[in-house]
Amino acid sequence: MDNAQKIREKARQYRDDTARCLSEMVKIPSLSGEEQAVVLKIKEQLEAVGIRDVRIDGLGNLIAKVGRGPKILAVDAHIDTVDTGDPSQWTTPPFSGIIRDGHVHGRGTVDQEGGAAAMVTAARILKEMEYDGEYTVYFTFTVMEEDCDGLCWLYLIEKEKLIPDLAVITEPTNLGIYRGHRGRMEMEVRITGLSAHGSAPERGKNVIYSGAETALKIRELHQRLREDEFLGKGSIAPTVFQSETPSLCAIPDKAFMHIDRRLTWGETKESAVAEIQDLLGGDSKVTVPLYDRISYTGTVFTQEKYFPTWKIAEDHPFVQAGTKTYVSLFNEEPRIDKWTFSTNAVALCGKYGIPCIGFGPGNEIYAHAPNEKVPVDHLEKAAAFYALLPYVLEQKTNA
């Protein structure tokens, strides 16, 4: 029996364990900055299946290691989630973790503790197979991604000096192999006007009018943004508008607008800021905010809210290794695609140029949505994929 068959059998054998592992995670709420309890649960799960090299870094990321090769393959899942939204929209309680009808249900099953549960099983399989090849496989269970994607990996690279040669992002891909996504950034616009008595508005400059005019200009800008053949079109949208006034009987003289900007290939932070500044003129200022929230460990690690675009070519050796892994396990060609949303690869590949691919259980349409659920079949297949990949990478290297 070859490695693919052995791993497929083991993933099938541990199928129910993987589902239960995910169920236990889902029962623990884990918003960004509040992940300690679920981190400790995953640490317990890893140690229960024989993984001894497990530690928590200064930011709160959980790091498990299998193998001792000279090259580093990272397999990453963020284990924080968004909140539940309106509970009345859920047909099952969001923290039930119930396993029913071939799915695990609850907040985080798709985005993206499903990937984390599959990683626990993959680490177990590699340990049992006594993997000792060319790669040290780091399974990273990372924090604060929903608040600030990539921050965890900036910390791992800059502070922990964990610099992978390759990385797999286990965000939901519906079991496709993904090779890129648009970048994103946040911008804050501050608009200055002139206050006057509400009975004589012509004496002032009303920032609500200025903001409305700005919003309409941004809508027009959206239509003419750059487009990439693979990643698609850039986008821009105002998401918050607030004004300040000395009185409800006074013309407001200050306003704040928050902008969500998605960046396609060839767009940069500098070009995006310049576009907005050109629209606004001298009465307004555009800035890119900093993320400086404290982690559950008490660490503050700041990052500008700019998350670079990334992609790798379809014929890249890492994409080809992922394809071979998929075919070896499932005897069919995978779907090669991209994410709509952003992931931790903005740091790994977008900033540092480390080649990344995506492969994860679940359909991204359930991300951040009520009634989130992931097929147990996907968990089983994802675990097999992560476990076989280092073996296939060695074959590609030595071919």
CATH 3.30.70.360-classified regions of the chain: 183-290
Pairing of strands 310-311, 135-142: unpaired
| CATH architecture of the region 183-290 | 2-Layer Sandwich (3.30)
- Helix/strand/coil for 45: helix
Give Cα 76 distance to the centre of its chain. Answer: 10
Alpha carbon distance 17, 13 (integer Å): 8
CB contact at 8 A, 221 and 320? no
Alpha carbon distance 165, 356 (integer Å): 9
Alpha carbon distance 115, 126 (integer Å): 16
Let me know if 34 is a catalytic residue.
no
Catalytic position from the list 76, 80, 171, 380: 80
| CATH fold of the domain at 3-181+309-398 | Aminopeptidase (3.40.630)
Alpha carbon distance 85, 125 (integer Å): 36
Closest CA to 24 of 143, 145, 106, 127: 106
Those residues with Cβ within 8 angstroms of residue 189's Cβ, 6 or more apart along the chain or in another chain: 214, 256, 257, 258, 259, 276, 280, 284, 285, 286
Let me know if 253 is a catalytic residue.
no
Catalytic position from the list 145, 228, 267, 372: 145
Q: What is the pLDDT along the chain (399 residues), one digit of tens a residue?
A: 699 999 999 999 999 999 999 999 999 999 999 999 999 999 999 999 999 999 999 999 999 999 999 999 999 999 999 999 999 999 999 999 999 999 999 999 999 999 999 999 999 999 999 999 999 999 999 999 999 999 999 999 999 999 999 999 999 999 999 999 999 999 999 999 999 999 999 999 999 999 999 999 999 999 999 999 999 999 999 999 999 999 999 999 999 999 999 999 999 999 999 999 988 877 678 999 999 999 999 999 999 999 999 999 999 999 999 999 999 999 999 999 999 999 999 999 999 999 999 999 999 999 999 999 999 999 999 999 999 999 999 986 555
Alpha carbon distance 118, 18 (integer Å): 6
CATH 3.40.630.10-classified regions of the chain: 3-181+309-398
